[in-house]
A = this chain, B = another copy of it.
Amino acid sequence: MRDVSIIGIGQIEVGEHWERSLRDMGAAAVRLALQDAHLERPEALYVGNMLSGQLSRQENLGALIADHAGLRGIEAVKVEAACGSGAAALRLAYIAVAGGIHDVVVACGVEKMTDTLGEETTSALATAADALYESEHGLSFVAINALIMRRYMHEFGYRREDFAGFALNAHRNAEHNPYAMFRKAITAEAFQRAKMIADPVSLLDSAPMADGAAAVALAPTAFARAQGLKAVRIAGSALATDSVALHDRRDPLFLEAAFLSAQRAYAQAGVRPQDIDFFELHDAFTIMAALSLEAAGFAPRGRGVTLALEGAITLQGRIPISTMGGLKARGHPVGATGLYQVVEAVQQLREEAGANQLHGCRLGMTQNIGGSGASVMTHILERLS
């Protein structure tokens, strides 16, 4: 296997892009990543997307985005793993380059969620859950997370407000991210007063629906060095799965697939949790941030929330998370999110994170989750000295 690096990143602002089509957004991110890499034409393009068929009546996105990015003819395909589609596309791009099948590959994530009515989008998002055992009975995706959060509070003795730290940190960090959807800090009082969506999940526990696209270009590290490109190495890459339905898991409060994919990524990178300098996790809901911290080994079971209470997750903390705003405040265009996470991790490792720059960091980790824990991708990125 060849050593692989990220040699280019691209992202567009997350928001409500009623004036931009799916293809425009995707192609823009691809072109930005290629420009950043000083390359014209990759050999392949993997497009992460979850909802285009349902919400934009458009499939065949691989060919479509390739064509609109000026890459007609190349190998291109769409990859779907619910809200984990973006990092799944990166995983496949990594495999193609590491295995020596292709030299330069782009992974792009794109999603358009705001052209449709809120209930249509909510219904489409429910396809990330189990159609026969969950959504058919009226459980929305938020409701599934509410069940998990309620149980977690019961088991481990937390109150709703104990989760505030996740939202406060995300919003504080988004303030200086020009690509973020919500560039403003929130207060603990606002969190406390936030409108309830599915008790105990409030609006401020939840990442917003959004439109967006992000992309990265990959190449062998040897190629990147020879060309003098600013490369960030992919030290670990893993994808693991679990049951889609929550009731079918051994333990509904432990993200087995997140644990497995993190373990595989650590083993490949030869590092441990304590070596990781920051963690871009999947804070679609505050409860998911807590569970992701636990599954990845940053907190014991039932103690993920404690990290937020202690301030360990802030830019100054022991394990900074959501350093550019996370899903909560940067926004969560589902199929694009995994690539926004990676783009932001690369910004940190290249020291291009502006006001949010972490100092002296060498290893960043990203974790993207599809469904309530069914498909989980973990990537460990390393600054090359």
Q: Which residues of A contact B (CB under 8 A)?
A: 1, 21, 23, 50-54, 56-64, 66-67, 72-82, 88, 91-92, 95-96, 98-101, 123-124, 126-132, 135-136, 238-244, 248, 256-257, 260, 370-371, 374-375
Contacts and interface: CB of A to CB of B under 8 A. Distances in A.
Contacts of A242: 63, 67, 72-73
Given A131-B56, A135-B57, A63 B99 contact: no
Given A53-B124, A59-B82, 12 more contacts: A50-B59, A53-B53, A60-B81, A63-B244, A63-B374, A64-B130, A67-B242, A67-B243, A72-B241, A73-B260, A78-B79, A95-B95
A46 to B, nearest CB: 9
8 closest A-B pairs by beta carbon, nearest first, are A99-B99, A63-B374, A63-B241, A58-B131, A59-B127, A60-B82, A78-B80, A75-B239
A240 B92 CA distance: 17
A129 B61 CA distance: 10
Contacts of A127: 52-53, 57-60
A1 B101 contact: yes
A173 to B, nearest CB: 29
Given A58-B127, A60-B370, A67 B244 contact: yes
Residue of A64, A74, A132, A256 with most partner-chain B CB within 10 A = A64
Contacts of A59: 50, 80, 82, 127-128
A177 to B, nearest CB: 28
Interface SS of chain A: helix, strand, loop or mixed?
mixed
Contact of A77 (B57, B67, B81, B123): B81
Contacts of A257: 63, 73
Contacts of A260: 73
A100 B1 contact: yes
28 contacts: A21-B132, A52-B127, A53-B53, A53-B54, A53-B80, A53-B127, A57-B126, A58-B132, A60-B127, A60-B129, A62-B80, A63-B370, A63-B375, A64-B130, A66-B241, A67-B241, A67-B248, A72-B243, A73-B260, A75-B239, A75-B241, A76-B239, A77-B79, A77-B91, A77-B375, A79-B80, A98-B101, A99-B101
A374 B73 contact: no
